[in-house]
Amino acid sequence: MSAISYQKVVKNFGAFQALRSLDLALPDRTFLALLGPSGCGKTTALRILAGLEMPSAGKVLIGERDVTRLQPRDRDIAMVFQSYALYPHMTIADNIGYPLWIRNLDSVKRGAKVAEVAKALEIDHLLDRHPRQLSGGQRQRVALARAIVRDPAAFLMDEPLSNLDARLRLSMRGEIKRLCQRLGATTLYVTHDQAEALTMADLIAVMNAGQLQQLATPHEIYERPATRFVATFVGNPPMNILSAAVDESGLHVGGSTVRLDPEQHARCLGAGITEMGIRPEDLRFAEAGSVLTGEIYVIEPMGNETLVDVRLGGERLSVRAQRGFTAAVGSRIGVTFDSTDVCFFDATGSTVVH
Ligand code: ATP
């Protein structure tokens, strides 16, 4: 059963189309990250599910229920916002218990439930305080506690970590993942941060310009991107893209011809390949005069590894080298790769062969 589904959802803001026929189904008890660049329509998709925005066409279902026309409060979902949206004049206990209070749960049961979730999120010592007396990370936990306190059918989270500093973001990332796994909660999590999507999600939906590009596991998104957009959006540094062509003699790239694995070669022939993509970690340095030969442009030691930017005529390659790698800037260097690590794209940007 799909816990959440979007069926041909369109959203127009005047003449601008923010969502262009979005079809997306999220299985029950799954953590799905909606990932894409700023303005691609992620928040609009989430707000439509929450009932904060009406679609121009199409429908949204939670479980078997068509909720397209329901009020937000009747949808049985909980939202966690970037801004936390806590009530400043209420104590933390009252903030967490608020969703139970508006549902008229009696104060004894409410107190017990608030204590239980506060303990689970390790904020039970803060219950008498007010939001202004809490750190950003603590406020985020309160917002999460308020979301889980009443067992909703789904959690919707809109960039919930973006107001935290880098260190806290990392630790909360792990905490939210653990919490969602423990609760077996169906979660739709909006982010533009690929690291959050890759590390937290069971499934990632990559969006661009109001359209779904790919829905797959993080592994699949990284290893078998469906489009050039996904290939270059996910991965840091991004996948290298080079002009390429394939004919009977093999792969033509960077002035060299590379023999392909026969099965791969057969799939590439006649597929209209115009570009190839290769990840920085799948490139190796070799003697000048190997498959690709370029010039070292910049070397960036990162501590645990070294990133090397190589210029090849008008194109550039990012190579992930081991830590301690050194070479003279401007020196010529060879770069090789295994053809089985290459993705091939056609002129429309679709991935033709992985
Ligand atoms: P971000 O990560 O920056 O929040 P997003 O992917 O969540 O981006 P949305 O907020 O869904 O993007 O916005 C998608 C597009 O729709 C944007 O171009 C935005 O300017 C536009 N948009 C969103 N809300 C409105 C509105 N109420 N009126 C007009 N245009 C809107």
Kindly report, residue by residue over 242-265, the tens digit of the pLDDT.
999 999 999 999 888 988 989 999
Of the residues 208, 233, 258, the one at which a domain ends:
233
pLDDT score at 213: 96
The CATH number of residue 120's host domain is 3.40.50.300
pLDDT tens-digit readout, 6-60: 999 999 999 999 999 999 999 999 999 999 999 999 999 999 999 999 999 999 9
111 and 74 inside one domain: yes
User: Ligand 1 centroid vs 45 CA: distance in angstroms?
Assistant: 10
In the predicted model, what is the mean pLDDT of residues 327-346?
93
Number of domains forming the structure of the chain: 2
Domain-terminating residue out of 233, 252, 285: 233
Q: How far is CA 217 from CA 30, 197, 204, 222, 323, in A?
A: 11, 10, 6, 9, 30
Instruction: Specify whether 15 is located in the same domain as 87.
Output: yes
Q: Are residues 176 and 41 in the same domain?
A: yes
Instruction: Identify whether residues 210 and 261 lie together within a single domain.
Output: no
Task: Indicate which residue's Cα is closest to atom 30 of ligand 1.
Answer: 13
State how far the alpha carbon of 288 is from the alpha carbons of 54, 129, 211, 254, 342, in Å: 59, 65, 43, 13, 21
Residue 202 sits in the same domain as residue 341: no
Atom of ligand 1 nearest to the CA of 47: 11
Residue located nearest, by CA, to atom 25 of ligand 1 = 13
What are the tens digits of pLDDT across the range 100-130?
998 888 888 889 999 988 988 888 999 999 9
* Closest C-alpha residue for ligand 1 atom 21: 18
The pLDDT value given to residue 153: 85
pLDDT at 163: 79
pTM of the model: 0.90
186, with CB counted inside 10 A (0-12, 13-18, 19+), is: buried
Other CB atoms within 10 A of residue 327 CB: 15
Q: Are residues 121 and 169 in the same domain?
A: yes
Ligand 1, atom 19, lies closest to the CA of: 39
Region 59-85 average pLDDT: 88
CA 242 centroid distance within chain: 25
Section 326-345 average pLDDT: 93
Same domain, 279 and 213: no
Residue 1 pLDDT greater than 60, yes or no: no
For residue 34, what pLDDT is reported? Answer: 97
The residue with tokens 């799954």 is 30
One domain for residues 104 and 213: yes
Between these two residues, 193 and 351, which has the higher pLDDT value?
193
**Domain's final residue, options 233, 251, 266:** 233
Same domain membership, residue 164 and residue 73: yes
Rounded Cα gap, residues 245 and 269, in angstroms: 9
What is the pLDDT at residue 318?
97
- Per-residue pLDDT band at 2 (split at 50, 70, 90): low
Note the pLDDT of residue 333.
93
What is the domain range of residue 345? 240-353
- Enumerate residues 6+ apart whose C-beta is below 8 A from 222: 198, 234, 235
Counting from 1 in the atom list of ligand 1, the atom nearest the Cα of 192 is: 2
Inform me whether the pLDDT recorded for 314 exceeds 90. no
Ligand 1 atom with the shortest distance to the CA of 44: 11
Question: Same domain, yes or no, for 115 and 193?
Answer: yes
Q: Ligand 1 center to residue 188 CA distance, Å?
A: 17
Q: What's the gap in Å between 43 CA and the centre of ligand 1?
A: 7
Percent of the chain scored above 70 by pLDDT? 99
Classify 349 in phi/psi space as left (phi over 0), alpha (psi -120 to 50) or beta: left
Clarify whether residues 43 and 174 are in a common domain: yes
pLDDT in tens, 120-159: 888 899 999 999 999 888 898 899 889 888 888 899 999 9
Which mutation among 40, 47, 159 tests ligand 1's pocket best, with the greatest number of atoms within 8 A of CB?
Answer: 40
Q: Whose CA is nearest to atom 10 of ligand 1?
A: 43
Residue 166 sits in the same domain as residue 313: no
Map tokens 């070799």 to a residue.
286
Q: What is the pLDDT of residue 141?
A: 87
| pLDDT(161) > 90 | no
- Residue minimizing CA distance to atom 24 of ligand 1: 44
**pLDDT tens per residue, range 172-204:** 888 888 888 888 889 999 999 999 999 999 999
Residue range 286-315: mean pLDDT, rounded: 90
Kindly list the protein residues whose Cβ atom lies closer than 6 A to any atom of ligand 1: 13, 16, 18, 36, 38-44, 192
Mean pLDDT of the chain: 91
Q: In CATH, what number is assigned to the domain containing residue 275?
A: 2.40.50.140
